[in-house]
Amino acid sequence: MSKTEWPALSPFQTGMRGRCPRCGEGHLFDGFLTLKPCCEACGLDYGFADPADGPAFFVMMFVCVPALAFALWLELAYEAPAWVHLVTTLPVVLLTCIPPLRPLKGWLVASQYFYKAEEGRLAKPAAPR
């Protein structure tokens, strides 16, 4: 396969596995959440990728809110002491909020590549005719 012919890979599959969105072979991450500068397999420069706070937002909205709702329910229903929250709520929050960050960041980076997302620019007004 020539360098100009890359298969169209699913951004969900490559991103969730932390693989290069172009070739699917190289690794996307250097550490837990740090992106590598480029793919070691195909050489794709990851400079285009800027998921910003996207992964954190999705985790906060879809995971942290229910986890904290659990903490509130526990407090209001049983008036649990602080040690009960440390034993129950803290592990729930940590185990539901930290693990999804990496797959979500990978999916957002792969989606940026797949859909050729770029920074928004203001369109200049059309010249009068």
CB-side neighbour CA atoms (13 Å) of 23: 17
User: Is residue 3 in a domain?
Assistant: no
User: Is residue 51 in a domain?
Assistant: yes
pLDDT of res. 70: 94
The values of phi and psi at residue 38, to 5°, are -155, 170
Q: What is the domain range of residue 90?
A: 11-114
Residues 6+ apart with CB under 8 A from 117: 111
pLDDT in tens, 31-44: 999 999 999 999 99
Q: Which residues of the chain have pLDDT under 70?
A: 1-4
pLDDT of res. 12: 96
User: Is residue 96 in a domain?
Assistant: yes
Q: Counting Cβ atoms within 10 Å, is residue 121 exposed (0-12), middle (13-18) or buried (19+)?
A: exposed
pLDDT of res. 89: 92
User: Is residue 5 in a domain?
Assistant: no
Q: What total of structural domains would you count in the chain? A: 1
Residues 6+ apart with CB under 8 A from 113: 11, 21, 22, 44, 48, 49
Say how many residues make up the chain: 129
Q: Counting Cβ atoms within 10 Å, is residue 51 exposed (0-12), middle (13-18) or buried (19+)?
A: buried
Q: Cβ–Cβ contacts within 10 Å for residue 113, how many?
A: 19
User: Is residue 125 in a domain?
Assistant: no
pLDDT of res. 3: 57
pLDDT of res. 125: 79
Residue for token digits 């903490």? 71
